[in-house]
Amino acid sequence: MPSPAKYPSTPDGRYFVVKGRLWRMSNPHLPPEQRQALVNRLMAARRQVGLALKAGDAGAERAARAAVDEAKRALGERGPVWWDDGAPDFNRKLVANTPYADWHAGL
């Protein structure tokens, strides 16, 4: 989970803010062991992206980026939202254009 001091998280815990943009937090309901295993998969996939880029291997890059996406979906950071109250998803939106604008302006 990002550092609250560096990247503030919304009061409902659904997003953190980087450079004025909302990014969805991981599903807080994942068991710690499962979450850690998924984070480990995500970090390994990101390393593979870097290696593929260095090697100029487009096929390996596509596969590695697919693995990153799969891990992020499993963590709840992409794909269907992990909350069940019907609230819309503002992932990757500018915070100023969302209902979190006043909260963010008050930081």
| pLDDT, block means (10 residues), the chain with 107 residues | 72 96 97 98 98 98 98 97 96 98 95
The answer to whether position 45 is within a domain reads yes
Residue written as token pair 């994942």 = 30
Domain contains 98: yes
Q: Is 69 found in the same domain as 97?
A: no
> Do 34 and 72 have their domain in common?
yes
* pTM tops 0.75: yes
Report the distance separating Cα 45 and Cα 59, nearest Å: 14
Domain of 101 in residue numbering reads as 1-25+86-107
In a domain, 9, yes or no: yes
Q: Are residues 16 and 38 in the same domain?
A: no
Burial level of 95, CB count in 10 A (0-12/13-18/19+)?
A: buried
